[in-house]
Amino acid sequence: MQDDPQKREMINRRHFSFRLNLFFFVTFALFSILIVRLAILQFVEGPTLSAEGIGKSTRSVKLPPIRGNIYDSEGYPIAYSTSTQSLYYSIQPELKLADAKENARQMAVKLEKIFSEKGDEDPEKAMTVDDIIRQMDLDFRRNNISTPRRIKSGLTKAEIAYFMENRSDFKGVDIMEESVRNYDKDSIAVQLVGYLKKYKGVREDVDFYKEKTEETDPQLQYLEEEDVGLDGLERMYQDVLRGKNGLKTYPVNNAERIIGPMQITNPEKGADLYLTINKNVQLKTETAIMDHLKKITTSTNRYERAEYAKTGFAVAMEVDTGKVVAMASMPDYDPNIWAGGRISPEDYENFQNVLANGTISTVYGKYETADERSKHPSSIVPPGSTMKPLSVLIGLNEGLFSTSTIYRDTGVFSFGKKGYERYIRNSQNHVYGSLDGAGAIRDSSNPFMAAMIGNALYMRGSVNGKSSVEIWDDYMKQFGLGVLTESGLPGESKGVIEYFSEAERGSAQSALIFASFGQQGRYTTLQLAQYAAMLANRGTRLKPQFVNEIKDSDGNLIQGFKPEVLNTVDIPDAYWEEIETGMSQVKSEGFEDFAYSYRRKTGTSEQDVAARRAENAVFIAYAPAENPKLAVAVVVPDGGFGGYGASPIARKIFDAYDEEIGLTGVPKKKTVETASDAGSTQEGTGAADAAAGEE
């Protein structure tokens, strides 16, 4: 049956109409989607894309910041930054890589010629073509292609002038101003101040700098060749001292060619530190230690002779403020060996044993072998008899005896099972007879401490759930022994607590008896200075302060510092008076003609090292006695008797402080100058009167 043509025509028209409507619908939908997408691009994603477009059309070169300076308490520069001109080379990105590398090698030949003709005549500073190519980093081991490479620092005026005059002949070469760290030639508190190293050498190993790799602010991002603090105050105040990068920004096209004027944001100089350290007190402290080491190692006096003494450590801390005016770890070194953020293998070999700060961490003397070193103590030593004032305080405060209690010192105290007794004796087997607490401090009676404090505390047993050893530990920590001083210095040690291990290995009784006269813990010199200051101010533990003020580069105050109390101990005045009486009667060498009353305690701490028993000289003191101003701690490992090996050093520190700052609040040197001026005035008046008489 044939189809009806009229009917087929109607069907075709229907199909055409459907297809036409479908076409218009699809076209409308596509245009709608396109319009919506354009709207999103313009109004939603537009700002972000615009910023990215600008970023892709500009390039920024970071200019290194200028590090802030470090001054002593009187404004004398200890560590300071000076400007230098450095030459940088940028690989030409518009060229093929092979051509860019070849251009760089040709540039290296040209630069070597100029350096040799116009540069420093010092042969050690000469650069070969290979040296220059190595700095160019053409294999991109240290930098990407757009990072400028530092080729040479410390350009001479002749080099700078030549490159500036012939700029067109040295495409890719830039002269940039940078800072160089300088340290005073007198080596003032070098271990406290610290040193710098290259950022690229520490960013993977030091947690503080690992975090810096995530910085997004271009002005705060670290540069590979930047010098950064690795120890001491340089590290502790890194963020304060660093400053901010400068930026050199220029527009480029798709071929990376510069197409517009350059914009420069100058680097911001870091803030300056004004320390509590007094330069003159510090230098006199350092000299006093080295002079005394020389004396005791060659002395013919058997009490003074200490042939193994190689190192000495001292801290002087103000009693009411916590300000550290001197901190010496001797021998020290010239910190300029770190110039440029690197140290030579020879210098490292010579000075590695003194790079660390022995007043807060472990330092040994210089020995040829590790075996020989093991025969000698480090800088962290037992306090010995300097513990006895605190022991007496504990005994009194715990009610183990009273200020009127008398103990008969027969020269020996024994404890332990019959047949296994252990004996505690006085130095040189002295017998002191009847002693109260003050007398036990004065005569340094080991049997008194063992019987009346260590053993008595053990025999009393636990109190309120705390064992006798835990009670002892509480006192130690309240007085800053076995805990951080909170100084904030990197690498500070808590010291070494030994009474807990002795209680487990031996007995709580032996732990407390030996701890009572300073043989169950090892502490740093800074801890002992903080402890001495706490004895002086009757129970207030102050945070050691090293910085008086932080100022910006224009001298405006950013931050000042006030005394910071860490904790206080409430002990009756009568107990303080008891130990002060004892401390005022201790014999100590070097103070024979001292103009002030002072309180002190000597210590000869014994320490088993390898196959020998070392004797360390320890000394703490504060003055004036009635109104304490300064506390001093001195430690000389292998130094023998504290009264001979450490006390004379402390005397020179007190004298230096009195001269420069004043134990009564007025520097003695100013008093002398005033008296001298007055005398000169009187002489002038007398001469005038005489002349008038003659007329």
Q: What is the pTM of this model?
A: 0.81
Q: How far apart are CA 474 and CA 468, in angstroms?
A: 10
Q: How far apart are CA 457 and CA 452, in angstroms?
A: 8
Q: Are strands 70-71 and 272-275 parallel, antiparallel or unpaired?
A: parallel
Q: Which domains does the chain have, with CATH numbers?
A: 60-275 (3.90.1310.10), 384-664 (3.40.710.10)
- Convert 470-496 to b/e letters by CB count within 10 Å (16 or more is b): ebbbebbebbbbbbbbbbebbebbebb
Residue 387's beta-bridge partner residues?
A: none
Q: How far apart are CA 562 and CA 63, in angstroms?
A: 36
Nearest to 565 by CA among 532, 600, 599, 530: 530
- Convert 146-159 to b/e letters by CB count within 10 Å (16 or more is b): ebbbbbbeebeeeb
Higher pLDDT, 22 or 303: 303
Are the C-beta atoms of 95 and 103 separated by less than 8 Å?
Answer: yes
Two structure tokens written together for 558: 């950013």
- Containing 171, the helix (H) or strand (E) segment is none
Amino acid of residue 128: T
Amino acid 693: pLDDT = 36
pLDDT per residue as tens digits for the range 308-330: 999 999 999 999 999 999 999 99
Amino acid 679: pLDDT = 56
Which of the 8 DSSP states describes residue 498?
-
**First CA to last CA distance, the chain:** 166
Q: How far apart are CA 553 and CA 68, in angstroms?
A: 7
Are the C-beta atoms of 317 and 535 separated by less than 8 Å?
Answer: no
pLDDT band at 223 (very low <50, low <70, confident <90, very high): confident
pLDDT band at 671 (very low <50, low <70, confident <90, very high): low
- Percent helix, strand, coil in the chain, to 5, is 45, 20, 35
Nearest to 435 by CA among 472, 394, 388, 476: 388
Place of tokens 């400053």: 243
Q: How far apart are CA 600 and CA 593, in angstroms?
A: 15
Number of H helices, E strands in the chain: 25, 25
Q: Please determine, for residue 632, whether its predicted confidence score (pLDDT) is greater than 90.
A: yes
SS3 181: strand
Are the C-beta atoms of 62 and 245 separated by less than 8 Å?
Answer: yes
Q: Please determine, for residue 682, whether its predicted confidence score (pLDDT) is greater than 60.
A: no
Task: Report the percentage of the chain scoring pLDDT > 70.
Answer: 91
Are the C-beta atoms of 451 and 491 separated by less than 8 Å?
Answer: no
Q: How far apart are CA 558 and CA 569, in angstroms?
A: 33
Q: How far apart are CA 471 and CA 488, in angstroms?
A: 27
Q: How far apart are CA 364 and CA 575, in angstroms?
A: 38
| Minimum mean pLDDT range among 8-12, 133-137, 400-404, 673-677 | 673-677
Q: How far apart are CA 23 and CA 31, in angstroms?
A: 12
